[in-house]
Structure 1
Amino acid sequence: MTNTAPSDPALPDPDRPLPARVLLRGGVIHSPEEPFATAMLVEDGAVAWLGSDSAADVAHADSVDEIVELRGALVTPAFVDAHVHLTSTGLNLLSLDLNGAESLADALDRIAAFARGLPAGAILRGQGWDDSKWPERRAPTLEELDRAVDGRPAYLSRVDVHSALASSALLAAVPQVRGAVGFDGSAQLRQQAHHLVRKAAFDLMDAAERGAYQSAALRRAAELGIGAVHECGGPDISGEADFLQALAAGLELRGPEVFGYWGEFGAVEKASFLGAVGAGGDLFLDGAIGSHTACLSHAYADKDTLGAAYASAEQVAAHVVECTQAGTQAGFHVIGDAAMATLLDGFDTAAAKVGRDALYRIGHRVEHAEMIPAGGVQRLLDFGIVASVQPAFDAAWGGAAGMYVERLGAERARAMNPFAELQKAGVPLAFGSDAPVTPLDPWGTVRAAAFHQTPEQRISVRAAFAAHTRGGWRALGSRATATGVLRVGEPATYAVWDVAPEDVVVQAADERLSAWSTDPRSGVPGLPDLTPGRPLPAAARTVVRGRMVFDSGRLGEG
């Protein structure tokens, strides 16, 4: 099998010198500490001053290296995406993306067309097919897939990346898959079988190919005003070489900062050795709703199964104790309500060994937390667990006609992704995309939380924005190097948005959706009007610790 490294335009030059003093003026600066600021001074990569244009002109205009004329644009802290997979996200951007396939036949046509453009012997990788949205309501058969890829090795992960299609040529290269849990002789693999084939497909990438994919993902993040990402790696996801290369990309300041989580039981020392900020992320307790592998307390509505349990409460407890004693974060992938019960029972056992206060001080994490059993929200709060969640999941699969209803029935579907319940209880929230499961799309994520398809789970735009900025930094625990607020002394990690001042509002999240205030006397920093149907803001510039990582060319400089 051969590999081909896709071409990838370069990110901004990481060796470009930083201007020592930069003055931004004539805009709207989103700062709770200086709510009326229209200008901001950046010095040596940090926020040095906030205030009015007139004060800036008197005190700073003659002593700066660069003046940026905002012309009314909005400046906010850059977003933090608290759960990404950079290589797979880049694969979506540069390779075969099946998210838009409208039917099984359409997907097979796209696969065949892409296969024809590959060199002989090259492995075909792609992502994003979603049979729940196809009229056929099924995945391709092995024969259909082999015909579409013309006999070549192929790995095509489902949209949730918890099952995948593998062609006969790729299955032949991983003979142990035939005895693994999750292999039934079809093209679609789940559980252990999927992990084995996914690892084989990613192990065939060389460093150049991985680098191109990671660079594409970081560039896209920068274009969207994202200043930091949490990379979630592990042995069943992308492997050590991929994880190390992703962290290196962040250290090179080629784009947003990269903070890594390594998900493997019994590997706290290994996570530290690899440079991870925590031993968690996608440490799987179960799978995903769409692949019927999320672990449920009651069977799926459309299939007689409870899903898959990948770990026990005893394993959770042992990992949490080891992490707590080492002073590092644990974190777990949890989707189903039975998996959440396993997590919480494990924390109960851990608390009995190291004390609840010790757990609370660390601030361990749970990823996704889509289904929470009765009493579970309070238990999350009691343990100080940060909920790293993905509002775009509700936008993609929620609602009366969504995949959740098909898989779970209407009653359980309405309880999915309970953001308002978590926020009201005081559970810390951090927002992410789980890209490539859903695209990098920070303003879309904020909108999805504020306009949740179950109205009682909506939160305000302001709260959602905080979860996608400050929440992402808070989720790093003691390893956080910023707070996600524009104030003097903080790193100058910000984004400039093409938003007219009159479209900067304070927006509610309930039946008062049409009632918001633009009265400047309120002193509440505004945000773009995210009412559904309105275009989302576009980034004009993204800056990370004073270094520009994206520039649209639309800003003026004086």
Structure 2
Amino acid sequence: MTESTAPQSEHRTVLLRGGEVHSPADPFATAMVVEKGRVAWVGSEGAADAFATGVDEVVDLEGALVTPAFTDAHVHTTSTGLALTGLDLSAAASLAEALRLVREYGAAHPAAGQVLLGHGWDATRWPEQRPPSRAELDEASGGRPLYLPRVDVHSAVVTTALLDLVPGVTGLAGFHPDAPLTGAAHHAVRAAAHGAVTPAQRRAAQRAALSRAASLGIGSIHECAGPEISDEADFTSLLALSRAEPGPRVVGYWAEQVTDEKDARRIRELGASGAAGDLFVDGSLGSHTACLHAPYADAPTTTGSAHLDAAAVAAHVTACTRAGLQAGFHAIGDAALSAVVDGVRAAADRLGLDRIRAARHRIEHAEMFTPETIAAFAEFGLTASVQPAFDAAWGGEEGMYAQRLGAERARTLNPYAALLRAGVPLAFGSDSPVTPLDPWGTVRAAAFHRTPEHRISVRAAFTAHTRGGWRAVGQDDAGVLVPGAPADYAVWRTGALIVQAPDDRVARWSTDPRSGTPGLPDLGPGAELPECVRTVVGGHTVFEGPNG
């Protein structure tokens, strides 16, 4: 891709030509004009000649594809950066390998007293089928404080030295002498571990995460923060960084319950767009803490953990709606989703259905639907902020979901086709660092869901990961390349484009140009994912790759 040497600026007028522009305004567009940070025109190569002498800059796309930038609707930015720069156990194939990685990381970071942070272990993938014991971690870490959350971040294994930094932790709910910590005990050790991160380390981690997002064509992220998973300093520093430096847009959510206007005002003063995100109604399936109507198949004495009931949900939604604030919750299990819809229904009875729908409240993860909860999501206009990579990682007949729930219940999870048929708004994200930032991989995971009846078209998945994220924050004129929209776009090197026929159940392909639908890359099994060569946010280039 060639261009003039002047850097792209929000105030410059730029013509991009000689490629493919993914735009509903013109499905055959090969050129685009950006002016003052917004899309000014899209059209054909021939018509672009009229702009060539009146712009500040001309970019020859050399056949590249231009799409709206992705929005990742659920990210933990600092944790993502710490995983990128710290101890990553996601690739460990066994308990022995995980312990080896801990030893090597500790040796490479010898600072005395420094808390070691890691992420990503998943014992369901290991032949040993168990997490490391405290004694094994004490030995591998050399007796240093070590915090290792499970891949879902709802439980953690730690060393004795870290427990020693948390007075009273042994008396908290969720403490287990030699098993992963959950609940209040986990929250306490996580606060101690993250409290040891210096402002400089935190800023470096945030920059690393935002840089990684930009390199993948992500133009916006929704930071899902809150008092149980981060702290106010982390949240406000991230928002300040996103305002001060070029990079992806950051929309912040703070997961704290609201009961009155005073609470709502405090949420706004933090800079949050809503009292939403990971406001926990339950936990996770992997940690046996997602709240179920029937017990776990592999833990028949438990149905998980319920943190908020329908009454608490109703109070939060009512207070937020009255204050003009977006509300939201983390809810995964079928019992948790039932509590959410019962609570939202009670709020609608108090305030009226129209006010609830207009507020665009959102639910994070929302995996274990029933037909009744799907219908309720549609009725109340609740956005399902979901992560297709979860199914890719843990779905299927032999996956973690089937281990936890049994194959029959596992097959009901993440029913994207049914949600779309019902009219439920979808916004796609990663929950990074739970699963990696990987937008095209996310689109592929939704289109090739492990349960075929839940598959959606590539086009629908792409929309959920671009325009869907903007709609989830109440902005309907963005996430699409049409005149007047924000100039948030990515440029890709990719193979031939194809048009997928709309079908809610299975993947069918069409290359007929008469369809009048802009094409997208082939994401079928074995196909190489597109390579991002440039990401632009509001007219500013925030990433440029070596092949750009």
Q: TM-score, normalised by structure 2?
A: 0.95
In structure 1, the partner of 2:341 is 344
Deviations 1:83-129 (A, max 9, x none): 00001111111100000011111111101110111112111001000
In structure 2, the partner of 1:10 is none
In structure 2, the partner of 1:66 is 57
1:503 deviation in Å?
A: 3.3
Deviations 1:56-109 (A, max 9, x none): 11x111122211111111100000000000011111111000000111111111
2: distance between equivalents of 1:252 and 1:448? 34
2: distance between equivalents of 1:512 and 1:286? 32
SS in 1 for 2:80: helix
> Please, which runs of 5 or more residues in structure 1 have no aligned partner?
1-14
Deviations 1:175-201 (A, max 9, x none): 121111110112521011111111111
**RMSD (Å) for aligned C-alpha atoms:** 1.5
* 1:450/1:509 contact within 8 Å kept: no
In structure 2, the partner of 1:134 is 126
1: distance between equivalents of 2:522 and 2:286? 32
2:25 equivalent among 25, 33, 50:
33
Counterparts of 1:3-82 in structure 2, within 5 Å, are: 17-18=9-10, 20-57=12-49, 59-82=50-73
SS in 1 for 2:53: helix
In structure 2, the partner of 1:495 is 490
1:519 deviation in Å?
A: 2.5
* 2:498/2:509 contact within 8 Å kept: no
1:508 deviation in Å?
A: 6.0
* 2:246/2:540 contact within 8 Å kept: no
Counterparts of 1:200-349 in structure 2, within 5 Å, are: 200-266=192-258, 267-303=263-299, 304-349=301-346
In structure 2, the partner of 1:422 is 419
* 1:125/1:155 contact within 8 Å kept: yes
SS in 1 for 2:509: coil
Deviations 1:309-368 (A, max 9, x none): 111111111100000000111000001111111111111211121112110110100001
* 1:455/1:510 contact within 8 Å kept: no
Matched-pair identity in %: 58
1: distance between equivalents of 2:129 and 2:477? 46
Length, aligned pairs only: 536
1: distance between equivalents of 2:481 and 2:497? 20
1:509 deviation in Å?
A: 6.0
Counterparts of 1:395-544 in structure 2, within 5 Å, are: 395-477=392-474, 480=475, 482-500=477-495, 502-506=496-500, 513=507, 515-544=508-537
1:269 deviation in Å?
A: 2.6
C-alpha spacing 1:251/1:528, structure 2 compared with 1 (3 Å): same
C-alpha spacing 1:326/1:48, structure 2 compared with 1 (3 Å): same
1: distance between equivalents of 2:269 and 2:305? 31
* 1:287/1:308 contact within 8 Å kept: yes
> Please, which runs of 5 or more residues in structure 2 have no aligned partner?
1-6
C-alpha spacing 1:220/1:354, structure 2 compared with 1 (3 Å): same
Detail structure 1 runs of 4+ shifted over 3 Å in the superposition: 15-19, 507-513
* 2:456/2:505 contact within 8 Å kept: no
Q: TM-score, normalised by structure 1?
A: 0.94
2: distance between equivalents of 1:214 and 1:16? 24
* 1:458/1:509 contact within 8 Å kept: no
SS in 2 for 1:175: coil
2: distance between equivalents of 1:143 and 1:221? 37
1:204 deviation in Å?
A: 1.5
One-letter code aligned to 2:172: A
C-alpha spacing 1:99/1:306, structure 2 compared with 1 (3 Å): same
1:486 deviation in Å?
A: 0.4
One-letter code aligned to 1:88: S
